[in-house]
Amino acid sequence: MNMSGILLQTKKVLFDPLKYLGIPEKYKFLGITFYRSDIYIHVIMLVAASIFSLYTLAFVGFVLLTIFIHELGHAFVAKYFGADLIKVRLMGGFGTTEINFDFDSYWSYILFILGGAFAGIFIGVLLSLINCYFQNSYIDLLVLILFIVNGANLLPFQPFDGGVIFQLVFLSAGKKFYIWHYSISTLIFIFLVFNTKDLILLIVVIYNLFILYISIKEANPHKELLLTKQALNSKISLIQKIGILLFYLFSLSLPILFLFGRTIFS
């Protein structure tokens, strides 16, 4: 092999070492599709954190692990209800579960939405019990991040999962409520950005502003909801709305109660 060939091969290894090791761009595990490129995004975040000391390496790594667990929770619930094309994307400080599937009832869709937080909280409780024996500071940090990230995700602000629950409950209010909900959520995040100087929250603000712009132009901003037309057109009774809100409040209370319990017994 001549020098140019060696340089070309070295460039391929440096820029995509996982491909050189035989890892495909898309790979499946338990029927869920993952992407090789997402690993690089996470490695870049870890390296950036260690170089610029924005956060500790362990903190960033545990946040990324928490997001991965959260998205797996969504994916497994979707699989349980019959989705066969499931893609999990991990994009830096965010994640998304893409499915080519519409739920035929509000309750199954709500379980899908809350599945991510439930998975994170369950793992957090499990690790917390295990750490009663080991008393390891890193496990303790991971448990704390699992509770905080998944608890925050249940807050009733867009684009969090809790915000989607509110969107479902007040679906009959139409486009006006949807835009007001996104606007108030965005203002709250702008306030947090100015007070915390957090870049991830700034990305949330930019995303929300983009969604707001699209929603104002759209005739039906609810069309992204993963519900069948029959379920989407069916009206939720007052009793059902109360049931959904009570179930949502119970879900939101779980991480708060566990964090409160940790404070008391630690």
Q: Give per-residue pLDDT as tens, 163-186.
A: 999 888 887 777 888 899 999 999
User: What is the overall mean pLDDT for the chain?
Assistant: 83
| C-alpha neighbours within 13 Å on the C-beta side of residue 263 | 7
Rounded to a whole number of angstroms, the CA Rg of the chain reads: 21
DSSP-derived letter for residue 95 is: E
Higher pLDDT, 232 or 156: 156
**Rounded to whole angstroms, how far apart are CA atoms 195 and 125?**
31
- Residue 32 sits at φ, ψ, to 5 deg, of -110, 130
Q: Place 50 in a pLDDT band, splitting at 50, 70 and 90.
A: low
Q: How many Cβ atoms are within 10 Å of 3's Cβ, its own excluded?
A: 7
Q: Place 259 in a pLDDT band, splitting at 50, 70 and 90.
A: confident
Q: Give per-residue pLDDT as tens, 118-169.
A: 999 999 999 999 998 888 999 999 999 999 999 999 999 998 999 999 888 8
Domain boundaries, the chain: 14-152, 155-235
Give the residue carrying structure tokens 């029959």: 230
H or E stretch including 222?
none
Q: Place 117 in a pLDDT band, splitting at 50, 70 and 90.
A: very high
72-76 own/partner pairs: CB under 8 Å, 24+ apart: 72/32, 72/119, 73/115, 73/116, 73/117, 73/118, 73/119, 73/120, 74/112, 74/113, 74/115, 74/116, 74/119, 75/32, 75/99, 76/115, 76/119
* pTM of the predicted model as reported, rounded to 2 decimal places: 0.86
Contact 259, 147 (CB under 8 A): yes
What share of the chain in percent tops pLDDT 90?
29
